[in-house]
Amino acid sequence: PVCCSARYNLAFLAFFGFFVLYSLRVNLSVALVDMVDSNTTAAENRTANECAEHAAPIKVLHNQTGKKYRWDAETQGWILGSFFYGYIITQIPAGYVASRSGGKLLLGFGILGTSVFTLFTPLAADFGVGALVALRALEGLGEGVTFPAMHAMWSSWAPPLERSKLLSISYAGIVGIIWFILWIWLVSDTPETHKTISPYEKEYILSSLRNQLSSQKSVPWTPMLKSLALWAIVVAHFSYNWTFYTLLTLLPTYMKEVLRFNIQENGFLSAVPYLGCWLCMILSGQAADNLRAKWNFSTLCVRRVFSLIGMIGPAVFLVAAGFIGCDYSLAVAFLTISTTLGGFCSSGFSINHLDIAPS
């Protein structure tokens, strides 16, 4: 049963871990809307074509004693973007280390470190822009190890016909320190080292992966660099993530500066697209595995179709959102549909690494 399954426990713990990760990553994007002196950005963003104020704005009573920072749009861009300078550095080294030593501790300490760094955000903001940029880059270094570590673990834990389902659960989503304690206590790098896994589940996982796992420990760099499939995954990741993280980082600012929503409305409406994406990830994972297991669709066909839906669909609605002017409802609807359809990618190119290089 699912409740007693070690691999599903891993998936659900990973879900909460990645929920923590994305909360830590995006919280400043929302907070920045209310941290910055609105008069600083107002002078830069006022144009003749600006959307009008809402007809009946809600009078919101909230804390007005917090310090306001006079950061212009360029400075805000550096603060939000600095995270990704750290994030990109640890991706490849983390994958190599996880394949050698296992991903449990790497992912656990990655989330713990990011959680600790995030606690110092207010202090860094008071020190100045440079300190905050440096802190965000350190957070990026910590988060950069998480996806490679998780992929390395799933190469040992995910039976081929359950990959879409298990990975979509884990990536679709307490505080980081509490999560870290549970992660260390309940998770193991491989089924062989798990303390409470049932003999039946261990044999099922190991037998399903027996013909896929390689004993080769060295990294075949030359064949990798010559692999068209690998480069297709790289291009797909770059293209999708560019859009995904741009929206994730700047959507709250767009909601405030262009659509003119207040901080309470902003927080809710900025979250709605990602609720849709989460639901789509869960459902598409189930659908992808069912198509392969019950309807005998090839893995190649499923990955290609889901990737096409997850990339072309969001692009169409995102472009359309740029031509609707100040129709607030339609803008939010198009952004929500765009981000929701992106959830199909979780069962497309996002897990294709395990199909072409299962070990």
From CA 73, how far away is CA 62, in angstroms rounded? 24
Q: Which residues contact 218 (CB under 8 A, 6 or more apart)?
A: none
Give burial (CB, 10 Å; 0-12/13-18/19+) of 196: exposed
Q: Are 183 and 153 in contact (CB under 8 A)?
A: no
Weakest-pLDDT range from 71-85, 208-222, 234-248, 324-338: 208-222
Q: Return phi, psi of residue 286, to 5°.
A: -65, -45
From CA 316, how far away is CA 331, in angstroms rounded? 13
Two structure tokens written together for 183: 């992660």
From CA 33, how far away is CA 73, in angstroms rounded? 11
pLDDT in tens, 188-217: 888 988 888 999 999 988 888 877 665 556
Weakest-pLDDT range from 40-49, 108-117, 218-227, 265-274: 40-49
Average pLDDT rounded to a whole number, residues 290-311: 94
**DSSP letter assigned to residue 36:** B
pLDDT in tens, 50-78: 666 665 455 554 555 567 888 988 899 99
- What letters, b where the CB count within 10 A reaches 16 and e where it falls short, cover 246-263? ebbbbbbbbbbbebbbbb
pLDDT bucket at 174, cuts 50 / 70 / 90: very low
Average pLDDT rounded to a whole number, residues 134-147: 94
Q: Is the pLDDT of residue 232 over 90?
A: yes
Strand, coil or helix: 69: strand
Map out the domains of the chain with their CATH numbers. Answer: 1-49+68-213 (1.20.1250.20), 221-359 (no CATH)
Q: Which residues contact 350 (CB under 8 A, 6 or more apart)?
A: 167, 171, 237
Chain-centroid distance of CA 183 in Å reads: 19
Q: Return phi, psi of residue 298, to 5°.
A: -70, 150
Q: Which residues contact 197 (CB under 8 A, 6 or more apart)?
A: 6, 191
* Number of DSSP helices (H) and strands (E) in the chain, helices first: 17, 0
Q: Is the pLDDT of residue 47 over 50?
A: no
- The pTM (predicted TM-score) of the whole model is 0.74
Q: How many residues does the chain have?
A: 359
